[in-house]
């Protein structure tokens, strides 16, 4: 009888506890709805009280506590009294910690890297810690979850805080560590650029086929354009920073000093060769040593490309082309293949081999239609040929219409190039025949064919 009474008491207690819990959840859901609606219309004052109740009583009920809570706190930082501002800054950091604790995933995908990088950015923006602590927080985000650490601004500041420590004389940050971190983060930028390009290329292909985009696809394209522009801007800033340190005078002795220790590390060799190539240090014998070691250790698309580069420099164009083709054949990823093809196209342009440069640029576009730099390269090739094509002064200048069209195309497929593409197109259009020239020639609507290597035609605009 006593056992039955005890069981009954426990059951009643469990029932009461469950009833209270369910009641609390219902209250939280009501408060959640109230603060969410207020945040949507930017009425943050009215959102504050119900949001705090849900955050305190049901911290794991909905991720909106943190996504909307971030907006509420940032509003208080921007508009509060000095006391409210200081308290809100601390609360924002606390919110990010709670976010990771209660909602480390969204739709079964980790968001830890994204949230912790937000925390690091807030610490930087509001000067809440020294450089080392801010960098360590960015690094924690990257180490724990690099996949969701995708914000271009945060990635840039991850490196910038490391660079600032280096410039401040922090003994924990060596020049080699700086270069390694740069390579690591720039590779992450490249990865994000490729993922974005894959999505954008699906839409561009549909447009090229003359099919109308759905409203969702139009919205997606706008988002991709914004993200592409952001990546382009911050990657450019990243390159500008490292350019101050990554000179041949610094790179060559550094890599010479560390070669023996790293000659069995394919990643180190690849990064060292890449940096020397990009900084035009490839005339140094060390570059040959790096490339040969890399190709022996890990024959790859990269090592074959560098061997082609060496053959090019020695004047052996046929052997260079064989290695370039081997590089393309070895690369399995279409987007990496496109980048190699564009590199080769640029090398041919530098060598004055315009037709080959265009061919390789077009091959690159066949693998990545959104590779705007390939269009820009061809535009520049056409512009460089203006004096070599056409039998009259008018026809020579008409080449610039072709160049301007391709420059505009570059900006339309890659929003990160929109500014330079626009300026380039305007420059070329300014060099093309004017309306007065067309009126004087009396050839509006005429088709001009270029029999030089360009082998294309252009229609004279109508007045």
Determine the average pLDDT of the residues in 424-449. Answer: 95
Q: DSSP readout, 393-410?
A: HHHHHHHHHHHHHHHHHH
How many whole angstroms separate alpha carbon 434 and alpha carbon 385? 19
Q: Which residues contact 260 (CB under 8 A, 6 or more apart)?
A: none
Task: Give the DSSP letter of residue 311.
Answer: H
391 band by pLDDT with thresholds 50, 70 and 90: confident
Q: Which residues contact 102 (CB under 8 A, 6 or more apart)?
A: 59, 60, 65, 66
Phi, psi (5° rounding) for residue 308?
-60, -40
Residues 96, 98, 99, 101, CA torsion sign: positive
Give per-residue pLDDT as tens, 295-323: 999 999 999 999 999 998 888 988 999 99
Q: Does the pLDDT value for residue 22 go beyond 60?
A: no
Give per-residue pLDDT as tens, 193-219: 999 999 999 999 999 899 999 999 999
Determine the average pLDDT of the residues in 430-456. Answer: 94
What is the per-residue pLDDT for 8? Answer: 30
Which helix (H) or strand (E) is 389 found in, with range?
Answer: none
Q: Does the pLDDT value for residue 14 go beyond 70?
A: no
Q: Does the pLDDT value for residue 156 go beyond 50?
A: yes
What is the per-residue pLDDT for 15? Answer: 35
Give per-residue pLDDT as tens, 405-423: 999 999 999 999 999 999 9
| Nearest residue to 372 via CA among 418, 421, 341, 413 | 413
| Nearest residue to 142 via CA among 103, 181, 98 | 181
Look up tokens 């604790």; give the residue.
101
21 band by pLDDT with thresholds 50, 70 and 90: low
What is the per-residue pLDDT for 394? Answer: 95
Q: Does the pLDDT value for residue 7 go beyond 80?
A: no
Give per-residue pLDDT as tens, 75-88: 999 999 999 999 99
Q: Does the pLDDT value for residue 143 go beyond 80?
A: yes
Which helix (H) or strand (E) is 239 found in, with range?
Answer: helix 215-243
Structure tokens at 56: 């305190």
Task: Give the DSSP letter of residue 448.
Answer: E
Task: Give the DSSP letter of residue 104.
Answer: S
CA angle 207, 208, 213 (to 5 degrees): 10
Look up tokens 């010479």; give the residue.
256
């Amino acid at each position: 009888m006593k056992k039955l009474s005890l069981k009954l008491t426990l059951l009643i207690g469990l029932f009461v506890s469950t009833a209270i819990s369910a009641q609390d959840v219902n209250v939280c859901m009501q408060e959640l709805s109230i603060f969410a609606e207020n945040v949507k219309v930017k009425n943050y004052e009215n959102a504050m009280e119900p949001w705090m109740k849900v955050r305190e009583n049901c911290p794991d009920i909905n991720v909106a506590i943190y996504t909307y809570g971030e907006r509420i706190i940032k509003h208080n930082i921007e508009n509060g009294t000095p006391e409210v501002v200081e308290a809100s800054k601390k609360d924002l950091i606390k919110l990010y910690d709670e976010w990771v604790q209660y909602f480390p995933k969204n739709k079964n995908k980790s968001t830890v890297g994204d949230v912790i990088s937000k925390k690091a950015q807030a610490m930087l923006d509001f000067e809440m810690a020294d450089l080392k602590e801010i960098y360590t927080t960015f690094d924690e985000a990257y180490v724990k979850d690099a996949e969701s650490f995708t914000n271009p601004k945060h990635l840039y500041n991850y490196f910038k805080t490391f660079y600032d420590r280096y410039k401040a004389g922090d003994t924990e940050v060596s020049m080699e560590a700086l270069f390694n971190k740069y390579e690591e983060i720039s590779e992450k930028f490249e990865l994000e650029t490729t993922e974005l390009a894959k999505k954008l290329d699906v839409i561009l292909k549909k447009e090229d086929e003359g099919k109308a985009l759905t409203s969702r696809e139009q919205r997606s394209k706008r988002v991709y354009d914004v993200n592409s522009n952001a990546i382009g801007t911050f990657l450019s800033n990243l390159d500008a920073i490292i350019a101050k340190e990554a000179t041949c005078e610094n790179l060559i002795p550094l890599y010479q000093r560390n070669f023996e220790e790293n000659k069995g590390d394919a990643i180190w060799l690849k990064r060292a060769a890449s940096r020397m190539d990009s900084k035009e240090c490839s005339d140094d014998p060390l570059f040959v040593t790096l490339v040969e070691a890399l190709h022996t250790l890990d024959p790859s698309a990269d090592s074959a490309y560098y061997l082609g580069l060496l053959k090019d420099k020695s004047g052996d164009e046929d052997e260079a082309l064989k290695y370039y083709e081997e590089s393309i054949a070895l690369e399995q990823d279409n987007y990496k293949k496109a980048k190699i093809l564009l590199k080769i196209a640029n090398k041919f342009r530098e060598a004055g081999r315009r037709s080959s440069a265009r061919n390789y640029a077009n091959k690159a576009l066949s693998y990545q239609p959104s590779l705007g730099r390939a269009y820009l390269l061809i535009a520049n090739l056409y512009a460089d040929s203006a004096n070599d094509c056409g039998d009259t002064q008018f026809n020579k200048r008409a080449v610039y219409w072709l160049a301007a069209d391709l420059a505009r195309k570059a900006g339309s497929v890659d929003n990160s190039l929109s500014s330079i593409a626009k300026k380039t197109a305007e420059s070329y259009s300014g060099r093309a025949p004017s309306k007065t020239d067309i009126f004087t020639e009396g050839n509006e609507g005429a088709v001009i064919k270029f029999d030089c290597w360009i082998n294309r035609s252009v229609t004279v605009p109508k007045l």
